[in-house]
A and B are shown apart, each in its own frame.
Chain A
Amino acid sequence: MNGEIDEPVTVFTTVAALLPLNTLGHYIHWHFIYISVANFTVVVAMIVTFVAALFLPFPGRKRRKENK
């Protein structure tokens, strides 16, 4: 072994090096709000998806209106 890493460098090991998940979590603390960065990211992604779903045009909607 001689201290060498025998695992080949793959896309997965590169991503794992960039986004290490085997560490202590990071938290946002603001007054009484205490939330992990991971959970906060999911909540923000949900709000963005919800707003996008309301305003993004749906494929084929214009064609359906013209056919009508």
Chain B
Amino acid sequence: MSEEIDRQWTTRLRRKAAGKLPPEKLLPDTQSSYVASWIYVFGVATLAALGVVIGTGCILALRGPQWWHGSSYGHFVNSLHLWSVEVFMFAMVIHLWGKFAMAAWRGGRTLTWMTGVVLFLASVATSFTGYAIQSNFDSQWITTQAKDGINATGAGAYFNVLNFGQMMMWHIVLMPLVLVLLTGMHVLLVRMKGVVPPFEDDPTPTPDVARVTE
């Protein structure tokens, strides 16, 4: 019986998950001393901004374009959605610069870095679909300019920027799903591998670093 339980996929998955990510790693009490720097706050600032983006987006989805264009409360929530995206991109780019300077892919953190890269590109695509569905002259201009570029790539048959309904679904269903899943994966990978240490504290220097320091 015990052997049978050991072979169950739920048992194996639970043991693997608990081994890779024990509770003290998932929600740690302390962080390494080098994390006490402003350059380390931009990742969590990006996460906080994403929370406001999703929250305001949910309110906009509930009330609709007539409301966000025609009432002062709608204007306010619409502006909050825009400005939280601005803060999100602002913080994410500084996070990217900081992590690039730290070579944050060191020490087996390749997947953490790559999920970040894909998240950045997915965020640009999500923002673009948002600009396409403002339902104003700005979105008309953006989509009529973008259609030629998209069609030149051959993707126009599946991604028609002039199709409001399709762009709306990309913006509020598909892209948020991708962003939330990848963000969850990115954060879990950071928890599993830990924050990348400075070069001088790195216990496993890359061959290039070792050569320079010899």
Is there an interface contact between A42 and B90, defined as CB atoms closer than 8 Å?
yes
Complex Cα distance, B41 from A54, in Å, reads 11
Residues of B24-45 whose CB lies within 8 A of A: 33, 36-39, 41-42
- A64-B33 contact given A46-B94, A50-B94, A53-B94, CB 8 Å threshold: yes
Q: Does B97 contact A (CB under 8 A)?
A: yes
Among A18-68, those with CB < 8 Å from B are: 42, 45-46, 49-50, 52-54, 56, 58, 60-61, 64-65, 68
Name the CB-closest residue of A to B30: A64
Kindly provide the distance from the CB of B51 to the nearest chain A CB, expressed in whole angstroms. 20
Interface residue B98 (Cβ < 8 Å from any Cβ of A):
yes
Interface contact A53-B33, CB-CB below 8 Å = no
- The DSSP consensus for interface residues of chain B is helix
Residues in B whose Cβ lies below 8 Å from that of A46:
90, 93-94
Footprint of B on A, CB under 8 Å? Answer: 42, 45-46, 49-50, 52-54, 56, 58, 60-61, 64-65, 68
The smallest C-beta distance from A64 to any residue of chain B, in angstroms, reads 6
- Asked whether, in the complex, the Cβ of A53 is within 8 Å of the Cβ of B93, the reply is no
Shortest Cβ distance from B90 into A: residue: A46
What separation, in Å, do the CA atoms of A35 and B95 have in the docked complex? 23
* Known contacts A42-B90, A46-B94: A53-B42 contact under CB 8 Å: yes
Q: Which residues of A contact B41 (CB under 8 A)?
A: 53
Assess A50 versus B98: contact at CB under 8 Å? Given A64-B33, A64-B36. yes
Give the distance in Å from the alpha carbon of A46 to the alpha carbon of B172 in the complex: 28
Given contacts A50-B98, A65-B33, A68-B33, contact A58 B38 (CB under 8 A): yes
Q: Which residues of B contact A60 (CB under 8 A)?
A: 36
Q: How far is the CA of A46 from the CA of B98 in the complex (A)?
A: 12
CB contact between B39 and one of A42, A45, A54, A61 (< 8 Å): that residue: A54
Interface digits, B189-210 against A, CB 8 Å rule (1 contact, 0 not)?
0000000000000000000000
- Shortest CB distance B43–A (Å): 12
24 contacts between A and B (CB under 8 A): A42-B86, A42-B90, A45-B90, A46-B90, A46-B93, A46-B94, A49-B94, A50-B39, A50-B97, A50-B98, A52-B38, A53-B38, A53-B42, A53-B98, A54-B37, A54-B38, A54-B39, A56-B38, A58-B36, A58-B38, A60-B36, A61-B37, A64-B33, A64-B36
